[in-house]
Structure formats: structure tokens, C-alpha cells
Structure 1
């Protein structure tokens, strides 16, 4: 891995950390700001959302209050650069009780990200539950 790739992976990991922070702290504006305007997102339950406005409307309905009894962790486990400015990012996600016990099955989101004006943005995201782990 080159120094440039390491720096880009660190920047991608920062986006995922900000996504975790926004979710755990129920900050819809910060969450939605991570998505490109024309992004697509499929929730863990298969709901397809197209565009930042639709993602925002959904997030504002489900995020407030969602984390009152739980927390979440997101860990980048793989990054594949499709091009220097486009990356497929595999994440390990866990929903936990406030005392750290796993709730349900872990998740394995795939985020396609692009670098826009020097900033990594979420473009196409698919959340998937891991059954039987």
C-alpha cells in the first residue's frame, strides 16, 4: 500500500467514524451531510432510498429516539479502490446495548464512496444483516 492509499483509507475511515457518531448521537443533519446529493441507500430491511432528500426524510423519522437504549459501532474491514477517487468500502456494524451486549445480528454494509472536491462522500450504500454469525 502506498502512502497515498493509506491517507485515503484514513480519510474513508474518518467518514465511517462520523457516520457512527451521527447515528449514536442521533444527529440527522450530520448523518445526511455524508451522502452525495444523488446517493442511493438501501436500509438493512431492504427499503430503497434515492437522493439526499429521501435519505434525509427517512433519517429524520427513524433516527431521533432510535439510540436511547443502544449504541452502534462501525469498523472498516476492507477498501477496494475502483479508481483513485472511487472506493468500495466493506464495514462491520454492530448494534449494542448500552453495557456492550450485542443486539441481534451484526451488519455488513457496503458503501461505495467517491471523492468530491477533496472530500469522500457516500454514493451507494447497502446495509445487510449477517445471519447465523
Structure 2
């Protein structure tokens, strides 16, 4: 498997864990000392803080929603460090886009350790609505 395919697999696991509200599976994708900044700007440092926050906000949040996380760009900073830009959207079970959820544009900095890509320094950003010209 290529490095990009491995990275895409991690991003797919993020989507799977979100969709099924699997906090432990989500948190296992992070380095122990990972940094996560939420879409609202809350800084979380380390798996314990990420887990506590995720348990608080994820439980019940995906009812009727199917998250979609699409890798749109990968920049290898070093062979074992990559900046990964993701397109995040939410759909109904019928496949319709849930526009009121907005679109996310996360940036995941991932590091490969012991042959496994881990989320290391991450920023979840909400895409601002277009301003009419």
C-alpha cells in the first residue's frame, strides 16, 4: 500500500469513528501527546483531553448524519511527516448534503511511528459562507 493510501485509510477511520460515535476508536488514531484545535477554536492537548471532549460532544451527535471525510491534498514534510488537507461534509442516510451543518476544512499533521500514521497536530476549521460580491 502506498503512503497516501495509508493516510487515506486513517482519514476513513476518522469518518467511521465519527459516524458510529466510537470515541475510543477515534482517540486511538492520535499520538499520546497530540494537539487538536476544534472548529470553535478550543485547544486540546493529549489523548486524555481529546477523549474527554469527544465523549462530551460526539455522543448522540451523528443521529441521522453520515460524515464524509475526503483527502484533498497531502504534503510530505518529511517521509514520516505529512500535512493532510481534508474536506469534511455531512449527508443524510439518503445521500443528501446537510447544508446547515456547513463544510469543514481540517488540516491533519500526521506522523508515521512504528509503521503507523497517527494524528499529531490538527486544526478543524469551518469553511466560511461565501460573501456576495
Q: Normalization by structure 1: what TM-score? A: 0.92
Quote the residue 2:16 is aligned against: 21
Conserved? CA contact 2:89–2:97, under 8 Å: no
* Residue matched to 1:75: 70
1:9 alignment partner in structure 2: 4
Counterpart in the other structure of 1:110: 107
What is the SS of the residue equivalent to 1:39? strand
Alpha-carbon separation, structure 1, partners of 2:32 and 2:43: 15
2:124 to 118, 127, 132: 127
Of residues 43, 47, 52, the one that matches 2:47 is 52
Alpha-carbon deviations, 1:12-67, whole Å to 9, x = none?
Answer: 00000000000001100100000000000011111110000000011111111010
> Runs of 5+ in structure 2 lacking a partner?
none
TM-superposition CA deviations, 1:94-124 (whole Å, max 9, x none): 0223332223321100000000100000001
In the TM superposition, residue 69 of structure 1 has moved relative to its aligned partner by: 2.4
Task: Determine the structure 1 residue equivalent to 2:97.
Answer: 101
Kindly report the root-mean-square deviation, in angstroms, between the aligned alpha carbons of the 2 structures: 1.2
Q: TM-score, normalised by structure 2?
A: 0.92
SS in 2 for 1:95: strand
- State yes or no: 1:87 paired with 2:46: no
Q: How many Å apart are 1:68 and its aligned residue?
A: 0.9
Aligned length: 128
